[in-house]
Amino acid sequence: MILKEKKLPNFLLVGATKAATTWLYECLNEHPEVFVPSLKEVNYFSHRYSEGESWYLSFFENVEEQKAIGELSPSYMICDDSPHRIYSLNPDMRLIFMLRNPIERAYSQYCMELRYNTVSEDIKQEFDLESTIVQESLYYKHISAFTKLFPQENLKFIVYDDIKTNPQQVLSRVFEFLSVDAEFENPAIFKQSYAKLPRQRFAKLYTLAVAVYRWINNNNSVGRKILNSLKSQGFNDKFHQLNSVKKEYPQLSMDQKRELANFYQEDIKQLSQLLDRDMTHWLSI
């Protein structure tokens, strides 16, 4: 009996949330030389490490001849234990960071969480500087934990603004980083999967539906295939259309934006040095 060799992932997208990670997942999933699991966010190195390495590697059992093998879990960037856990599995892991204007990213996450009914309408309270939503946008702080373990050549930084202006160039550079065909043309490249969804008409129903969806998606491979099939047939889009309502999201006040800009100032300066690219325009209010 010939045992099938276990395939280790050789790349991970580790963050950040609400920076077009779903868009990149869909584009990577289309590339014939790239393997990503049907579950986009496995969250092994952050929330599900207790499941064990065998459980994690089971997501890569269907790898065939693909050169780039990986998954996309934005939770890794903000988990203190993730860098060392990733290094222990594969010290040569290539890591992708997707970065967005920190204030815009935090606000987009707030809107998402509000749809999930996990935050309140009190936007002033939710944007306390110690909140998880605000803290996640401290990019340099989180990235520095990875730079202590992984060499610069193993790190790829994608700026959200560049996706909006030249998505093909962004993808080509990602493919080069992953050592796969950089000229592959993706059907999903112009899909606006990072667009903000409308508020929900029936918030509690939506919260329940999301909880059920996540449980099935995270724990049942057959159910995951059914969910992916329904999604490809437009079921998710139809659900959002039927359950949407014309209700505005709470807005950040100018004072809040200034407070956030001041809060992120030093972190963005350090990030600019790391990227060798001036990103301080993100904080222009």
Q: Which amino acid is at 23?
A: W
The number of C-alpha atoms within 13 Å of 174 and in the hemisphere containing its C-beta is 33
Tell me the per-residue pLDDT of 221-269, one tens digit each, with 9 for 90 and over.
666 667 666 666 666 656 555 555 567 899 999 999 999 999 999 999 9
Helix axes 203-219 and 235-243, enclosed angle (nearest 10): 160
CA distances, 248 to each of 111, 115, 278, 285 (Å): 10, 12, 33, 22
**Bridge partners (DSSP) listed for residue 230:** none
pLDDT recorded at residue 2: 39
Total Cβ atoms within 10 A of residue 21: 23
Assign residue 162 a region: left if phi > 0, alpha if psi is -120 to 50, beta otherwise? Answer: alpha
pLDDT recorded at residue 209: 63
Domains in the chain and their CATH numbers?
Answer: 11-195+263-283 (3.40.50.300), 199-246 (no CATH)
Tell me the per-residue pLDDT of 169-181, one tens digit each, with 9 for 90 and over.
999 999 999 999 9
CA 14, CA 72: separation in Å to the nearest integer?
6
Q: What is the 3-state secondary structure (H, E, C) of 164-179?
A: HHCHHHHHHHHHHHCC
CA 8, CA 27: separation in Å to the nearest integer?
21
CA 28, CA 130: separation in Å to the nearest integer?
34
CA 190, CA 168: separation in Å to the nearest integer?
9
Kindly report the backbone phi and psi dihedral angles of residue 164, in degrees, each rounded to the nearest multiple of 5, phi listed first. Answer: -70, -35
- Inter-residue contact 91 to 84 (CB < 8 Å): no
73: which DSSP letter? -
Low-confidence ranges of the chain (pLDDT < 70): 1-6, 192-218, 220-225, 227-246
CA distances, 211 to each of 59, 68, 202, 216, 283 (Å): 21, 31, 14, 9, 35
pLDDT recorded at residue 213: 60
